[in-house]
A = this chain, B = another copy of it.
Amino acid sequence: MSELYEQLRDAITDERPVVLATVIEGPNAGAKLVLDPECADGFVSVGTLGNPGLDRVVSRDSVGELAAGRSGVRHYGPEGQANEQHVSVFVESFAPPPIMLVFGAVDFTAALARAAKLLGFKVVVADARSMFATVKRFPMADQVMVAWPDEVFDVYAERLGHHDAVCILTHDPKFDVPAVQRAVATEVGYIGVMGSRRTHATRLKRLAEVGVPQQGIDRLMAPIGLDIGSRTPEETAVSVCAEIIANRTGHAAPSLRDSDGPIHRQAPT
């Protein structure tokens, strides 16, 4: 059993997604199986639920649950048959928190990091300027990196998936062009880019010049955030988080990208 718990512990420590399946009713109650699909050694499976057929079917189902970050009880026949209630298995997913990479240690960054923490993100703030990228300015971030976009993506690119987000707040082509280039080369679910419509038009030219393909450009949410009239950093942070949720769930929300006119309008107050 100890090998099983070691695998589980190592995966959680390394922030790899891992799943623990336990027989909670039926023969072999208490039997356990750990699945560690992204282990350096490949897809690792430790333990058994007491039957090879059951192990195979539960492994298949557990990987699906893990991908969706879900835990719950599933029922099977003695050898893993569907639509039987002979064995109850509790499938417990240990999914690492979603990651948000924020490029640019600017005024908006702290508000965005606070809002993202509310949604459970692991927040990484990165800026090449050591004077701005400090833990003192961003105590709410999980990591503050004094680094260029390339260095950040060298660490995180492989781990970015559907639930993760990249927010580029730099307003400076020196940073945001390489950040966009690397972001569109990942599987990340959300890429938001701050800046006026005019800034973005200029940016699009530069991105085309460096060879970012149109399907990459199409993934950019720019200007960043939902079109709800946000003015302050905190309001903008809420609009970005709302856009991330809407993107993830596939809801047709009014993104600034899809509207026109100025981003900041005079409130009717």
Question: Does A82 reach chain B (CB closer than 8 Å)?
Answer: yes
A238 touches B115 (CB 8 A): yes
Question: Does A208 reach chain B (CB closer than 8 Å)?
Answer: no
Report chain B residues within 8 Å CB of A60. 231, 264
B249 touches A252 (CB 8 A): no
Report chain B residues within 8 Å CB of A269. 37-38, 63, 67-68, 162-163, 248
Interface residues of A in 72-131 (CB under 8 A from B): 74-75, 82-83, 104, 106-107, 111, 114-115, 118-120
Report chain B residues within 8 Å CB of A37. 269
Of A1-9, A44-52, A239-247, the stretch lying at the interface with chain B is A239-247
Question: Does A253 reach chain B (CB closer than 8 Å)?
Answer: yes
A172 vs B84: C-alpha distance when bound (angstroms): 10
B226 touches A242 (CB 8 A): yes
A222 vs B111: C-alpha distance when bound (angstroms): 28
Which of B63, B229, B252 contacts A231, CB < 8 Å? B63
A227 touches B251 (CB 8 A): yes
Which of B172, B232, B248, B265 contacts A229, CB < 8 Å? B248
A252 touches B254 (CB 8 A): yes
Q: Give the nearest-CB partner of A70 in chain B.
A: B232
A75 touches B235 (CB 8 A): no
Known contacts A118-B115, A118-B238, A245-B235; decide if A83 and B171 are in contact (CB<8 Å).
Answer: yes
Which of B107, B118, B251, B267 contacts A248, CB < 8 Å? B267
Q: Give the nearest-CB partner of A74 in chain B.
A: B107
B254 touches A229 (CB 8 A): no
A213 to chain B, nearest CB (A): 23
Against B, the Cβ 8 Å flags (1 = close, 0 = not) of A210-241 are 00000000000000001111111011011101
A121 to chain B, nearest CB (A): 10
Question: Does A42 reach chain B (CB closer than 8 Å)?
Answer: no
Against B, the Cβ 8 Å flags (1 = close, 0 = not) of A247-269 are 01111111000000000110111
Known contacts A64-B235, A248-B269; decide if A228 and B253 are in contact (CB<8 Å).
Answer: yes
Which 5 residue pairs spanning A and B have beta carbons closest together? A229-B249, A64-B231, A228-B246, A242-B242, A64-B232
